[in-house]
A and B are shown apart, each in its own frame.
Chain A
């Protein structure tokens, strides 16, 4: 059974944390280097450096050009990608098990780029394209605006892409210094899931990271509590109004982690939730849902809706009604059971995926400092009672003054 998997962990002498989850019966393996650095680490003037650096990793390393990097990923039949956000920069690849050593060696190499001026100037153009593209994606835009309004001028409110100004002004030396400070072995996690030999993986990772340097600097500044407020970005060209409403919630590893997940499912899951019935099923908004954003030292619960401009105010009113009703009213036990069943089922299905587990064990490590077994997760979900949901709601009221952001044609809501 794929769910009967083995968990492994080992910390190298250089501080790199190595974690793994074997999944019996699969041929592939997913591997990732996760660097605990992101937009929240960026000093003023360096907005976007983490993400730009991630791009530079693919341009040139100590032993490879971008052509080598791209060709080798192809030759090993990899599905690979990288991503940057507020608290991480990650490089990952999925390959058939026999190519895992190649993938590990290449991923390790990517984390040690050579920042060449000509490559930098060239890749800057690509970043500027990505920034322009982002402006054409209102759904992503409204979430960014939401975070920036929750943490104005503060680390968790930083824009991951940066701005055309900050990217235009960025210098190679600043990026190199940032890389030197942040890409320390002791500031990283290596994660692997699927078909692998643990001892061989550890030995190889030890070998390829032998000459890595250490983190130079502290962890991040505290996030602080989310602010309250509203921010409306109005542009005539949009057809739909995109709305996000959010309130404080749990940070990673909080004791109410499972209660919060179940509550969010009850509130805004894409079938059968409170918001589903009152907003989607009534034809008020085609897109409606809720989610949790749990950072290392702060968290948010948000509702996102996309609707026509003429229904926007009413939609917002209904969302507020539902938040109030959930907080102050009853939660039926069958409602709780259905939410629990959904999460239990996802838990099992995700256990069958190397990509999902590669990500899942990192999440477990960051929030708990250890690897939770599937049985523990199941037990955690099964233990949640209505009383737990109420306890969560007392700590994190849904009717708190939160943040409202919108992107669309409307000037006000």
Chain B
């Protein structure tokens, strides 16, 4: 039996926590409402540069002070700048949690961005951009999202471009942080072993007097670009990423979307694994991934195949999507997908790190706490007709995008000009 707590401090910081008996670890995360979708093109990468420089010194602690202090507490930690929010997380023995929070809040509140540190981080970000080029399977997934939402912040490149990153200034970083990192734009989540009253009291003290910022503007739902894009580049495989629209986190059809993705491409018994890999040996790696965010969601299908098999791979996946749109899913497929998803949820809930993220996300997007039982029930409630309605509502096959990254041209791949939709018969 786990205990859930939530509180909003007088500073505005929201807290959620779930106690897990029997563990010694405590995992936590600070969510900040700062994301790449807010960046104009000339400052692309600013959110990431800011996030990556946060731990390089505060007003009272140098980079070395911070690193040594956190290492002495045994905090495994990370941070990541996303499209909609920025995350700072840690995991450690629960006994050390309060001291770790002292340091994390100092960083979030008083990060100083020393000039030479900023320059070093800029170098690393430029390297990260180059590195991504060297991993076409990751690059294709990222770029596919960018093309799908091109023209809207949801399609921004988190890393930015070499040009935009080279031009970012310390003032821009400080302003970005000043405008966005404040208790009223942040959420703290914790799971594992902790004393709630002590945590709340500590964070209350640490965030007291921290100036709030204006409520961020509401960002509208992004329109989509269901286009076909082909980038030719030297690679041993042709990397394919199909994209279709889904639904936001917490949407009424969220589990319909998740289960559809699972039936389609969520494991070795999925449709894509069966048709593309098992039966035809076209790929090693093929799968589908659903992401639900604040205002939108998308499903991306990845396949990596040798150039001489790429055309067939495209055809087979495209045919599977047509079949999905036409006939939805079968009872037995859906039943197995539910078993799998529920099992995954229960198993991942054994990890304090995973639990801290899950309750954090639920609160961030939905302002709700859901027990495992509640989520299981929501999954169980999905039926074949619900998936049919979901597919009618979102029409994946009629809003399909594709990005191909590899040695082949559109003609080599047998792709129509522009998009699948312009060449398809009316629905």
Measured CB to CB, the residues of A under 8 A from B are: 1-3, 24-28, 58, 66-67, 70-71, 73-79, 94-96, 122-130, 132-133, 135-139, 236-240, 271-272, 276-277, 280-287, 306-308, 334, 337-338, 341-342, 344-346, 348-349, 352-354
Contacts and interface: CB of A to CB of B under 8 A. Distances in A.
B237 A136 contact: yes
A341 B340 contact: no
B268 A73 contact: yes
B318 to A, nearest CB: 19
A26 B23 CA distance: 10
A283 B121 contact: yes
A126 B67 contact: no
A78, A127, A135, A236 — most chain B CB neighbours (10 Å): A78
B121 A136 contact: no
A338 B71 CA distance: 6
A190 B68 CA distance: 41
A77 B342 contact: yes
Interface string B7-51: 000000000000001111100000000000000000000000000
Contacts of A337: 72
B130 A71 contact: no
28 contacts: A27-B346, A70-B267, A70-B269, A70-B274, A77-B340, A79-B344, A96-B347, A122-B281, A126-B284, A127-B284, A128-B306, A129-B281, A129-B309, A133-B285, A239-B133, A240-B130, A272-B67, A281-B117, A286-B124, A308-B130, A338-B72, A341-B73, A342-B71, A345-B92, A348-B93, A349-B24, A349-B91, A353-B350
A352 B24 contact: yes
Contacts of B309: 125, 129
Interface of B: 21-25, 56, 63-64, 67-68, 70-74, 76-77, 91-93, 117, 119-128, 130-131, 133-137, 233-237, 239, 267-269, 273-274, 277-285, 304-306, 309, 336-337, 339-340, 342-344, 346-347, 350-352
Contact of A1 (B22, B77, B124): B22
A293 to B, nearest CB: 22
A236 B119 CA distance: 28
A24 B20 CA distance: 13
A369 to B, nearest CB: 29
B336 A75 contact: yes
A77 B343 contact: yes
Contacts of A282: 120
A67 B120 CA distance: 52
Given A130-B284, A349-B76, A25 B131 contact: no
A126 B281 contact: yes
Nearest to B25: A349
Contact of A27 (B25, B233, B350): B350
A26 B350 contact: yes
Contact of B237 (A125, A129, A287, A348): A129
Nearest to A351: B24
B136 A136 contact: yes
Given A135-B236, A283-B120, A129 B91 contact: no
B227 to A, nearest CB: 25
Contact of A95 (B22, B91, B284, B343): B343
A132 B308 CA distance: 12
Given A129-B304, A237-B234, A281-B63, A348 B25 contact: yes
A281 B71 contact: no
Nearest to A342: B74
A74 B339 contact: yes
A354 B350 contact: yes
Nearest to A1: B22
B131 A287 contact: yes
Nearest to B131: A240
A246 to B, nearest CB: 21
B336 A74 contact: yes
Given A272-B68, A283-B119, A239 B134 contact: yes
A175 to B, nearest CB: 17
A338 B342 CA distance: 39
B127 A286 contact: yes
Contacts of A132: 236-237, 304, 306
A91 to B, nearest CB: 13
Nearest to A306: B131
A25 B284 contact: no
Contacts of B137: 133, 136-137
Given A58-B268, A126-B283, A345-B74, A3 B306 contact: no
A122 B281 CA distance: 6
Given A129-B284, A133-B137, A283-B123, 20 more contacts: A25-B22, A26-B350, A28-B347, A28-B350, A70-B278, A71-B269, A73-B267, A78-B343, A125-B281, A126-B281, A129-B283, A236-B234, A281-B117, A283-B122, A283-B124, A308-B130, A338-B72, A342-B76, A352-B25, A352-B352
